[in-house]
Amino acid sequence: MGIWRPVGTGSWVGHDASTTFPTYTRGNAGEVYPEVFTPLSFSLAAEAGERAMRSAIARTGLVSDAELSEPLSTAIGSGVFGGYAYLNLSVQRLVAERLPGGSAADADANYLGVGTDIPPPDDDLPADRRASLRGLRYLLATIRLKNLPPLDDDRRRVEADLATHADPATMSDAELRSDVTAFTAEFEELFEHHLAISGQAGLCVGILASLLEERLDERDAVGELLAGIGDVDSAAPSFELWDLGRSVAADPALGALFDGPAEGRHARLSASPDAASFLEELDGFLERHGARGPNEWDTAFDTWGTDPDLALALVDRMRLTDDGVDPRARAGDLAARREVRTAEIRDQLDPITRRLFDRILHAAQVTSRAREQAKTTVVRFIQGSRVRAKELDRRLAERRGGDAGDLWFLVEDELDAYVADPASMSDRIAERRAQHRLLAERIPPFVFTGEQPPLDTWERRDADATHRLGTGDRLEGLPGCPGTATGRARVVLDPADPTALEPGDVLVAPLTDPSWTPLFLAASAVVVDVGAIMSHAVIVSRELGIPCVVSATGATRNLPDGAVIEVDGTSGTVTVIDLTD
């Protein structure tokens, strides 16, 4: 498998593109891996991730073994191109097209949303009657799901494993090095389970949307029916961060400590007796949710647990928010509206369709919760590996006078040489860091077919927007969570630096992963460049009762920061009201 291959102006992490399934998208993949892959993370997870993806696809019965037979270096399920993660859109479309009653357009609606740069599905996707019959069995088994004990077993196993881990500071270099490699097998199994339930969740939501469209011409009502279902793992940290924010808001001494610079905030709190009770609360939060953070799937990046200042930056936003924005109250209101809306829809259906609707809705709710549970289990496991790898990285960088994070600019089969003689890898690490920076300066194409366009054609992240929307202009997106809100647009590109977002502002983001979730509470609404009904922004906004519009193409580039905008999460539109900041 190519790890660092010469392409264009440099070398980077990458898979081979499939000749059978040639179209790839950042949609959904960008929420899990938003940043450029590091060499070590790629070398550990690439083949394991591809095996897990193929296994999850094979479970559906909709793709044959022969169609999945390309080498593991070829991205049939998911891949990394130009350092960025992509999902194979061709396979998603084929699975949807072969599913009885499904279509490739359904796959696009569930995972991509809308966008002018998305190529239409092929007109001649290969049919397979036997695969469709297997898919029918898969569909029927999915909508009959009542609970998912394997996911509970995964969670118990991971928690038991974390509880028995030795303190990394007491482990030898050899033990830490061994643990880095041990990551792969456990990750593969957990990831496969996450992918399998994610596929089932997408299937259930898609079927529900199709039923609503066919019988009532109300496809977008699916968001209302899944709003405020409760017990969604990725929303849970927001409620606790809200409570921490209330603690700070009620204590002037704590507030004074937060008023200082964001950097070093945890150290200031730790040095102050006024913060003892708060830190006890924070420690409990980090024990439960410390695995979350920006780019939490890649062990190279810090999480709330390894850098508490990241979590405290979010608490800082929470403390400034009005008491009336209590997420529990908003979630309760949303759940009540969901029940009313569910009853309205049931009343419009005939008895047979009503029974089918009830079963599909229940399965959609079960699998939507399970998808977030499985994701949390994976990131909890990754956190255990991250903590040990960071200890090894610290020791080796210190030994050769290097920088934190150097470990991740090597690949797995170079680690033994690095442990034996850290200085021997200095030039290689420096070269790869430079390549990584080049990739991070560019925005990878959202979709490509056949071959990823050359790096020098990618848009630069620091480029000026080609068009700014004016007063009265409207962006058309997709409904994420119902409701309407008006506020100042605040474009936030990094959840680790949310200081520009004030209470009542509209959060405008490129895409969101769980580390963004608490910012939803400080915002009156959320607008996201890309995304669809299965995207993270939609799932969390539905739990917190925040009006949300996704797939608002170009929002972060074209909505002037500070403009007053109206967000209609029911219709999926964003309108500029006033440009005065």
Predicted local confidence at residue 8, as pLDDT: 39
Output 127 or 300, whichever has higher pLDDT: 300
Three-state secondary structure of 429-463: HHHHHHHHHHHHCEECCCEEECCCCCHHHCEECCC
Phi and psi of 352, rounded to 5°?
Answer: -65, -45
Predicted local confidence at residue 146, as pLDDT: 75
Question: Are 477 and 113 a contacting pair, CB within 8 Å?
Answer: yes
Per-residue pLDDT tens digits for 303-337: 999 999 999 998 998 898 888 788 888 888 888 98
Same domain, 514 and 428: no
Written as one letter, the residue type at 50 is E
Crossing angle of the two packed helices 236-249 and 308-319, in degrees rounded to 10:
70
Predicted local confidence at residue 9, as pLDDT: 36
Written as one letter, the residue type at 147 is N
Same domain, 321 and 441: no
Whole-angstrom Cα distance, residue 491 to residue 470? 16
Residue 158: pLDDT band (50, 70, 90) is very high
* Percent with pLDDT over 70 in the chain: 95
Token reading at 70? 């390309």
Same domain, 520 and 455: no
3-state secondary structure of 573: strand
Same domain, 123 and 1: yes
Question: Are 440 and 35 a contacting pair, CB within 8 Å?
Answer: yes
* Percent with pLDDT over 90 in the chain: 51
Domain containing 489 equals 474-578
Same domain, 435 and 503: no
Sequence-ordered strand ranges (E) for 352-492: 442-443, 447-449, 459-460, 474-476, 478-481, 484-491
Q: Which of 291, 307, 325 is the last residue of a domain?
A: 325
Predicted local confidence at residue 234, as pLDDT: 79
H helical segments located in 217-274: 222-225, 236-249, 252-258, 265-270
Predicted local confidence at residue 3, as pLDDT: 43
Question: Are 201 and 364 a contacting pair, CB within 8 Å?
Answer: yes
Same domain, 512 and 435: no
Predicted local confidence at residue 292, as pLDDT: 92
Which CATH number do you get for residue 574?
A: 3.50.30.10
- Say if residue 7's pLDDT is above 50: no
3-state secondary structure of 421: coil
Predicted local confidence at residue 121, as pLDDT: 77
- Say if residue 506's pLDDT is above 50: yes
Same domain, 87 and 6: yes
How high does pLDDT run on average in the chain? 88
Sequence-ordered strand ranges (E) for 368-445: 442-443
Selection from 377, 434, 426 nearest residue 406 by Cα: 426
Predicted local confidence at residue 187, as pLDDT: 94
Q: Quick one: the chain helix, strand, coil %, rounded to 5?
A: 55, 10, 35
Same domain, 436 and 515: no
Per-residue pLDDT tens digits for 72-103: 889 999 899 999 999 999 999 999 888 887 88
Whole-angstrom Cα distance, residue 581 to residue 579? 6
Same domain, 3 and 126: yes
Predicted local confidence at residue 6, as pLDDT: 38
Q: For the purposes of burial, counting CB atoms within 10 Å of the CB of 501, is it exposed (0-12), middle (13-18) or buried (19 or more)?
A: buried
Q: What pairs with residue 484 in β-bridges? A: 568
Average pLDDT over residues 55-78: 92
